Amino acid sequence: MKEGIHPEWYPDAKVVVDGEVVATVGATQPEIRVEIWSGTHPFYTGTQRLLDTEGQVDRFMRRLQRREAYKAAQEAKEETSVATNISVEAMGLGTRVEKALIAAEATIAQDLIELLEKGDDALLAISGVGQKALIDIKRYLRANDMIE
């Protein structure tokens, strides 16, 4: 055997549970501290012991309430993130279409949604807005979950 590579062996190592020595065994540590051993484990003793010293139910309920509050905040954030007050210039439709929409007093996304609710012809009736612009507007509004 090589010298100096093996840990020191303690033939009479003490097993300690809750400050009480319950057994002596051979180990590489002089003292082993454990929380549960066969003398207290429900499997061996046949009894059930509740360890709710810190209020596990209360902690769980607090976590559950925090999670519900977080989910409610996320849902509120998602509802406000679908902003229909985005300007027409931010949609990147092209200057000719943007000028035509602004001239027709359709300056934000909500105005375009209201026109689309009347039908595609309401948007196509604006001079300077063609089929391609209509498709681009619908594509932008769908991509940002403003229409279905």
Per-residue pLDDT of the chain (148 residues; tens, 9 = 90+): 688 888 999 999 999 998 889 899 999 999 999 988 888 777 777 776 666 666 777 888 899 999 999 999 888 777 665 566 788 888 888 888 888 888 888 888 888 888 888 888 888 888 888 888 888 888 888 888 777 7
For the CA atoms of 72, 76, 81, 87, the dihedral, rounded to the nearest 10 degrees, stands at 180
Q: How far apart are the C-alpha atoms of 70 and 56, rounded to whole Å?
A: 21
* pLDDT number for residue 81: 57
* pLDDT number for residue 95: 86
* pLDDT number for residue 13: 95
Sequence-distant (≥ 6) Cβ neighbours of residue 55 within 8 angstroms: none
Q: How far apart are the C-alpha atoms of 88 and 137, rounded to whole Å?
A: 9
The DSSP 8-state label assigned to residue 9 in this structure reads P
* pLDDT number for residue 111: 85
